[in-house]
Amino acid sequence: MVASHSTAATEWIDRLLQSRAADGGFGAAPGQPGNSESTALTLMALRAHPDRAADADRARDWLVQRQRDDGSWALLEGAEDGSWVTPWAILALQAEGGASFDAAKRGVDWLVRREGRRLGLVARVMFQLLPAEERTSLDPQLVGWPWHDGSFSWVEPTSVSVLALKHMRGALADRFPAERVEQGELLLYDRQCDDGGWNYGNRAVLGEELHAYPDVTAIALLALQDRPSERTAKGIKSLEQMLASDESSGLALALGCLCRSVYGGDATALRERLLARYRRTGFLGEMRTLALASLAFNGAEKLKLS
């Protein structure tokens, strides 16, 4: 790591810690209450800095204490349902060992039970009767993971769930939910845009193609990192093209760096752009981006499958 990168990573960690919520977690932005996603990502970022072990322990404890009885995590205290943040918590805690690892395993039990909504029989028949140009161009029978209970499967929650489960594969042994993971992968390929990347989860609406987003594409590629294929390669190419454009963001660049690192590429130039971006915008104070940027500079291996 070059000196400027090391300085930036330390600066970002300091900034995260300065913005820690009063409840001990990390929020979406400074002044916001702690949420499970930002706290999970910050925990991973802190673990890459051995001198911050005590702060990491505190973030870990916050996360473990917020686990619901059913094994899930809600984003915020006060939200009733376990949610899409659960795989992020699993990812952060599975590397912690001990009681935290047990919490991650309980999270997996919940995650495996969680499914995107399926079309009922009548709706399936009706869907088949729709003219092609009026259908959304995706396979409604594939089941991944939803953002919210009772809704459809979408790209980001499916990607993070697949990634978290793959990280737990060794520990789960014969309990590894291979069919769910495979179905999740199929869903991701089904939702791949014609340009090769991914957006929130729709390739086309009313016959018109939709374009991909770099941040979601990077997350999907992280989930598919152990699936070398023509389609995965197309996704990587799409991501690189999107990242090459001038208009970008800290979030896209941070996830782009992580993705490139996980796939064995050289992320040095992207890190330079990420740093320049931070100097210009401060990532608008978004804590999730700060944590991901910190990981991109120091800790990308935490998302890499062994």
What are all long-range contacts of 4-7, with beta carbons under 8 Å and residues at least 24 apart?
4/275, 5/271, 5/275, 5/297, 5/298, 6/297, 6/298
**CA nearest 155: which of 88, 202, 115?**
202
What does the binding site for other proteins look like in residue numbers (CB under 8 A)?
27-29, 32-33, 35, 75-76, 78-81, 83-84, 117, 119-120, 122-123, 126-127, 129-131, 134-135, 146-148, 150-152, 154, 156-157, 199-200, 205-206, 208, 213, 215, 247-252, 281, 283-284, 286, 289
Q: Which residue, 31 or 97, has its beta carbon nearer to other proteins?
A: 31
Of the pair 127, 139, the CB lying nearest other proteins is at: 127
Which one, 122 or 173, has the nearer CB to other proteins?
122
Question: Cα–Cα distance between 273 and 277 in angstroms, integer?
Answer: 6
CB atoms near residue 194 (< 10 Å) = 14
> How is 1-33 classified by DSSP, letter by letter?
--HHHHHHHHHHHHHHHHT--TTSS--SSTTSP
In sign, the C-alpha dihedral spanning 216, 205, 84, 38 is: positive
- Residue 58 has which token pair? 């505190």
Shortest distance, position 200 Cβ to other proteins, whole Å: 5
Q: How far is the CB of 121 from other proteins (least distance, A)?
A: 9
Task: Name the residue nearer to other proteins (CB basis): 33 or 265.
Answer: 33
Q: Are 162 and 156 in contact (CB under 8 A)?
A: no
CB of 250 to other proteins, least distance (A): 6
CB of 54 to other proteins, least distance (A): 27
Closest CB 267 distance from other proteins, rounded Å = 19
Q: How far is the CB of 107 from other proteins (least distance, A)?
A: 18
Q: Quick one: 86 or 249, whose CB is closer to other proteins? A: 249
Nearest to other proteins of 107, 157 (CB atom): 157
Dihedral angle of Cα 20, 22, 27, 29, to the nearest 10 degrees: -80
